Amino acid sequence: MRWLRDPLLWLVALFVALLLLMPYSGPLFAWLFPQLDRPLYQQETFLQLALAHIELVAISSLFAVIIGMGAGILVTRPAGKEFRSLVETLVAAGQTFPPVAVLAIAVPVMGFGAQPAILALLLYGLLPILQGTLAGIGAVPASAREIAEGVGMSPWQILCKVELPLAAAVILAGVRTSVIINIGTAAIASTVGAKTLGSPVIVGLSGFNTAYVIQGACLVALLAVVTDRLFERLQKQFRNG
């Protein structure tokens, strides 16, 4: 019965329960907001929106991890050290560029839907992953590399068997930050036609429907909390391992 005392389990159960019970919460929101004719968002099911939201974040985060880690590894190699400042500047500029502006620029080229949203989330999620990769590899003791070289490991073997395993917890911290940021940022993707948990928020703001805003915002916030706790559990396993 020890698993019943797991806070993460209860958070996941709460999120799933909210998704499944939200369609039946009309009377509650009608009581809270009697002035609204339609107090419950019904254009899509909340389960469909949650799955689409998670898919959008997962795809953009996967690309961000591949590019961010790849760039971080590249500029820590002897052949790429001279490009480190340039890469850091470009990636930092990508995050400081507002996602809404990226969407506005990308929509005329890529059209409405998930594609411009993935591009915006990718640019916005690169910096924490790059910084985590640089910090993690930079913190690997020089003695560990020297020992690996002494036993005849190639540079590729040193990277895969020494540097990345020792840097994994720090890199994962960067990925954690990136994903949590993108869970919240993905809500604005609904402004360009992508289905996300931000859809009720956007519709609610445009129609002055506070109930819609609360419904979407609560689910986005809870999804971020659940994901953050999952990453925390994963980081502990890396540290203990």
CATH of the domain at 126: 1.10.3720.10
Residue-level pLDDT at 99: 73
Residue-level pLDDT at 11: 87
Residue-level pLDDT at 128: 92
91 is a domain residue: yes
Residue-level pLDDT at 1: 57
36 is a domain residue: no
Residue-level pLDDT at 40: 92
Q: How many domains does the chain have?
A: 1
35 is a domain residue: no
Residue-level pLDDT at 75: 92
CA distance 212 to 29: 9
Q: How many CB atoms lie within 10 A of CB 78?
A: 7
Distances (CA, A) of 151 to 12, 137, 144, 155: 46, 20, 11, 12
Ranges of the chain whose pLDDT falls below 70: 1-4, 240-241
155 is a domain residue: yes
The mean pLDDT value of the chain amounts to: 87
Write out the two tokens for 207: 């129609």
Residue-level pLDDT at 81: 85
* Domain range enclosing 166: 48-240
pTM over 0.95: no
